[in-house]
Amino acid sequence: MDIRLFDSSDLPSRNTALDQGDKILNDQLPALQVDDRFHNEPARVGVLGPSDAPIGVASITATSRREGSSLPPWTMQLVLRTGSEDSLCSLVSGLLPSSGAEVWIRPEHQTVTDEVQRCWPDAYNCRRLHLMAVDLPVATEPIPTRALNPNDEADLEAVVRVNNAAFSAHPDQAGMTVDSVRAKLAGIGHGAQGVRLAEIDGVINGFCWTQIHHQRNLGEISVIGLHPDVHGRGLGAPMTAAGLHWMHRQGLSQAILYVEAGNTAAVKSYRRLGFHVAHDDVSWMIPGAQ
């Protein structure tokens, strides 16, 4: 079966392909899970199957990695209709760069795992994310915060400074810039009021960035970070609580977040707040021809 490829030279077709991927994905996800992976700006999108009812969609996006990262600078997002898992190899191969890619195939499924291992015996799991959920409000007292002022360069720089120090070892959350903060703020469900800044020891040393999924009446902790200077003081839970309380004040009664399963300090902080693991997502490192 042929793959049809789309890029930014034909935006309407590319966007239709992304919407089709989004639809296949969201038809399979539990109600709690919000997944906007097909809402990014990929370099290319591949569609397998009839144009009015595709059986699979994959998109590939250039991804900046921290220096020294062993991961290739490409992330692929892939979804297949249930029962079409045997199309996985053709869809991935149709878009795979020679350097390989980190491939997210959600939701996690044994048939998918078997198919990846059959096609690429050298492929390996590189990341595992917990999707965690909590009912609002939470009992934990939040750390005092104020909203980010999007017109104040110092506020934007403070978020960049704390983020890049907090996530210096993270595969794709490091490398924030003032421009990327502005771009993220303009995203759907984001806004300056929902970015809570905490002054700790006289400077902004923490922030909690929230996002609201209005169509699902669901809040998300998009990023929470404390500067390493203030780690280990029990501030993880109250810093997160600041975002949760803000979302509850907006009328929301449930919140989710994604966290690397191995981030013990974060997972412990979230459990302390009442979060539980609802689901896991796994990415595969699929080698290219190089």
Ligand X SMILES: CC(C)(COP(=O)(O)OP(=O)(O)OC[C@H]1O[C@@H](n2cnc3c(N)ncnc32)[C@H](O)[C@@H]1OP(=O)(O)O)[C@@H](O)C(=O)NCCC(=O)NCCS
Could you list the residues that contact ligand X (CB under 6 A)? 166-167, 224-226, 231-237, 239, 259, 263-266, 268-269, 272
Residue nearest to ligand X (CB): 236
Cβ atoms < 10 Å from Cβ of 194 = 22
Rounded Cα distance, 2 and 170, in Å? 37
* Comparison of 46 and 238: residue with beta carbon closer to ligand X: 238
Residue 256 forms beta bridges with which residues?
133, 220
Tell me whether residue 157 or residue 260 sits nearer to ligand X (CB atom).
Answer: 260
Residue 245, CB half-sphere, CA atoms under 13 Å: how many? 16
As measured in angstroms, the least distance from the Cβ of 278 to ligand X is 15
Q: Which residues contact 57 (CB under 8 A, 6 or more apart)?
A: 17, 18, 20, 21, 24, 38, 45, 46, 47, 48, 78, 79
Q: Which is nearer to ligand X, 192 or 235 (by Cβ)?
A: 235
Give min distance, CB of 260 to ligand X, in A.
7
Whole-angstrom Cα distance, residue 106 to residue 38? 12
Helix (H, G, I), strand (E, B) or coil at 107: coil
Closest CA to 74 of 290, 243, 226, 265: 290
Closest CB to ligand X among residues 55, 259: 259
Tell me the closest approach of the beta carbon of residue 231 to ligand X, in angstroms. 4
User: Shortest approach of ligand X to residue 162 CB, angstroms?
Assistant: 8
Q: Minimum distance from CB of 276 to ligand X (Å)?
A: 15
Closer to ligand X by Cβ: residue 47 or 208: 208
Contact 120, 100 (CB under 8 A): no
Note whether 100 and 285 are within 8 A (CB). Answer: yes
Number of H helices, E strands in the chain: 7, 12
Residue 266 CB, nearest approach to ligand X (Å): 4
CB 241 within 8 A of CB 270: no
Give the nearest distance from C-beta 4 to ligand X in angstroms.
36
> 138 or 226, CB closer to ligand X?
226
CA–CA dist 107, 258 (Å, integer): 14
- Cβ closest to ligand X, residue 187 vs residue 262: 262
Whether residue 137 is preceded by a cis peptide bond, meaning omega within 30 degrees of 0, is yes
